[in-house]
Structure 1
Amino acid sequence: MTLSLPSEFLHRPIAHRALHDVADQRPENSRAAIRAAIEAGYGIEIDLQRTRDNRAMVFHDYDMTRLTGQPGPIQQITAAQAQARPLLHSDGEGIPSFDDVLELVAGKVPLLIELKDQDGAMGPNIGALEADVVRALQGYDGLVALMSFNPHSVAELARLAPHLPRGMVTCSYDPKVELLPQMVCDHLRDIPDFERVGASFISHEAHDLTRPRVAELKSQGAPILCWTIRSAAQEAEARKVADNVTFEGYLAAQPA
């Protein structure tokens, strides 16, 4: 079953990793950034990684150095340890769990949820993160949509939670940028798994929106989101193709 993306995800601009601004002690994917996005009325995009005890945490990187100042993969610590590890440029708040964020958002704004690839090469070695995400979402009645670069992850979400809308994060797949084997990049570049995994939308790299496959999916009725927009001028250009934007570094205009 392919579930359509709720229209709210097309009407409200989506704050990339929430409405973050380190100058105001609001680092990316933090509770402070999420509270700011809710107050401003934006949709929120977050990233999920898993811990050693297979809990979903709202965190972008595999290694914790950039965001906490302490090195090491987040997969090598427990959820409790992650929650106790302060984020840089914050008021001391730790890495939030997915459960924490669901409680904080509580259906106030749409939540676009990206599961980071857990295989390492977009392969089938996944499952624990997807299972904990679906567990956490049981009983949550706010608007959510799930997505991942890894088609195996999207397929697993379809199996575990066919009632939740899901999509694919897509890009130009430059091997030098994505640090993936050429063969993997060449396979994924044209989004061949969209129908197979029951995706209903894509969130595509903004500077690659003119790709013919994007136009093909749009012509078939698939909503097109994009990432990451960093100015009003970039937004205006992206909206020639995309139905909505994921933005950071400025305040996207709200619909009238």
Structure 2
Amino acid sequence: MTPLPQAFLTAPIAHRAYHGAGRPENSMAAVRAAIDGGYGIEIDIQPSADGVPMVFHDYGLDRLTGEAGPVSGRRARALQQITLLGGEETIPTLDAVLEEVSGRVPLLIEIKDQDGAMGMDVGPLERAVAAVLSGYDGPVAVMSFNPHAIAEIAEAAPDIPRGLTTCAYEPEHWPTLHGPVREVLRAIPDFDRLGASFISHRWSDLARPRVAELRSAGFAIFCWTVRSAREEAIARSVAHNITFEGYPARHPAPDA
């Protein structure tokens, strides 16, 4: 297990960076706002057609831009020319975000599942992320809902702290994921074999026994996505730190 830097426990983590009016999610403006506020940053990674890690949450372009089609259907140079809705920012690369952050605040990177069913058809994106991170000198960690993606990160970049994004996998939230797969993932069975050092669990499901078990064993518990001071107060009764959006989270993060 690669230990998680202490910096991840000392400031709330801005979900998709500190986005808001004029600062689209996962944009450079949202990244700069998080740095200015002293917040940690969570970002999402999707691949371009030429395998470049792009900082973008969705698989498709339509919700966040004026374009349509999959992110993975366009080359990085073309994606970097697409304007994000709600501002003047364009889609950044992971490399550009790393250069901007430059170790000033902790960076939590979520690799979006590319298998489509949380299966084993992964690898290129994880290796590309590992390659970009190879020269980065700052607090950084990588996570994914797909345990196979984290296994790839463990092999490609064993010195980077890694964790699992987790939840109760309710059918209504995961309608395309097979029931047996949801049942397996719900129990977080892969944590030990992956050498993980943390989970980021859905805040409203933190009372799950498996979460308590991991906390008691000394592992870090993060949660997603807190959207109010009330939710934050509830989440902090279990979680060591929160991922938040839509309001200014308490800062600095108190000890949990």
Q: Report TM bin, short chain.
A: over 0.9
- Residue number in structure 1 paired with 2:210: 213
Which residue is 2:141 aligned to? 145
Distance 1:232 1:176 in 2: 26
Partner in structure 1 of residue 193 of structure 2:
196
> For the residues of structure 2 that align with 1:131 and 1:161, how far apart are their CA atoms?
8
2:120 matches 1:124 = yes
Q: Which residue of 2 aligns with 1:13?
A: 12
- Aligned-residue sequence identity (percent) comes to 59
Secondary structure of the residue aligned to 1:94 is: coil
What value does the CA root-mean-square deviation take over the aligned residues? Answer: 0.9
SS in 2 for 1:145: strand
1:43 corresponds to 2:40: yes
Q: Which amino acid aligns with 1:196?
A: R
1:52 match: 49
Residue 95, structure 1, aligned to residue 88, structure 2: no
Displaced runs of 4 or more, over 3 A = none
TM superposition shift of 1:69? 2.4
Aligned residues: 252
* Structure with the higher helix share, 1 or 2: 1
Structure 1 counterpart of 2:100, one-letter code: L
Matching residue within 223, 227, 239 for 1:226: 223
Q: Which amino acid aligns with 1:121?
A: A
- SS for the counterpart of 1:176 is coil
1:254 to 2:251 alignment: yes
Unaligned runs of 5+ in 1: none
Distance 2:182 2:78 in 1: 35
Task: Confirm or deny that 1:162 pairs with 2:162.
Answer: no
- Which amino acid letter does the alignment assign opposite residue 175 of structure 1? P
What TM-score do the two structures reach when normalised by structure 2? 0.97
- Cα deviations across residues 178-198 of structure 1 (Å, max 9, x unaligned)? 231111101100100001111
3-state DSSP of counterpart to 1:104? helix
- Return the offset for 1:175: 2.2
1:4 corresponds to which residue? 3
For normalisation by structure 1, the TM-score amounts to 0.97
2:212 is paired with a residue of what secondary structure? helix
Partner secondary structure for residue 49 of structure 2: coil
Cα deviation for residue 176 of structure 1 reads 2.1
